[in-house]
Amino acid sequence: MARPEKSEYPEYYHSYVSKSQGDNAVKVLEDSNAITRKLFKNVEDEKGAFAYAEGKWTLNELVQHLIDSERVFAYRLMRIARNDKTPMPGFEQDDYVPESNANNKKLSELLIEANVLRNSTLLLVKGLSDEMLTRKGIASDWEMSVRALCFTIAGHEIHHMQVIKEKYLT
């Protein structure tokens, strides 16, 4: 399978898609998950309450954001792969975070949840045919392909792992 072309996703997602290396949707999802597991290998729960500046998300909130975003993207991916032509609305990440209750959770539990979710996403993607991966649908008023959503999920995670490494775990 080839990487998604720029015509398969909105320009806004290019920075995410470009962070995913290779041509295989399953591999990019596995690789980004490995980056996350390695980065958090020795991070203690107490670090979850840390925000690097006033008004910035805590580490727990950032991990919860990754979980919420992957759920939304995987739902879109599944609907488009199943040939559902119904346009899907967007979601506002800044509205989700304060409602997530992330700071009342343990970082270690959020990381388990993120890993379980990724395994579920991987099983979904592994079950798709090449034809399904190239299907397109409308999400947030933009046309996207299934494979572009796979690369977006992985690249979004990689993007935030870079932020976490630089701003939260220095």
Domain boundaries, the chain: 6-168
Q: Calculate Rg over the CA atoms of the chain.
A: 16
Cα→Cα distances 156→36, 80, 106, 142, Å: 12, 19, 22, 17
DSSP designation for 23: S
Instruction: For residue 132, name the pLDDT band (cuts at 50, 70, 90).
Output: very high
Enclosing H/E stretch for 144? strand 142-145
On whether the CB atoms of residues 115 and 37 are closer than 8 A, the answer is yes
Q: What is the pLDDT of residues 23-59, one digit of tens each?
A: 999 999 999 999 999 999 999 999 999 999 999 999 9
Enclosing H/E stretch for 123? helix 107-126
How many angstroms from the chain centroid is the CA of residue 17?
11
Q: What is the pLDDT of residues 78-130, one digit of tens each?
A: 999 999 999 999 999 999 999 999 999 999 999 999 999 999 999 999 999 99
Portion of the chain with pLDDT greater than 70, in percent: 99
Q: What is the pLDDT of residue 100?
A: 96
Phi, psi of 51 (to 5 degrees): -125, 135
Question: Which residue shows structure tokens 């947030």?
Answer: 140
How many angstroms from the chain centroid is the CA of residue 39?
16
Domain 6-168 matching CATH 1.20.120.450: the answer reads yes
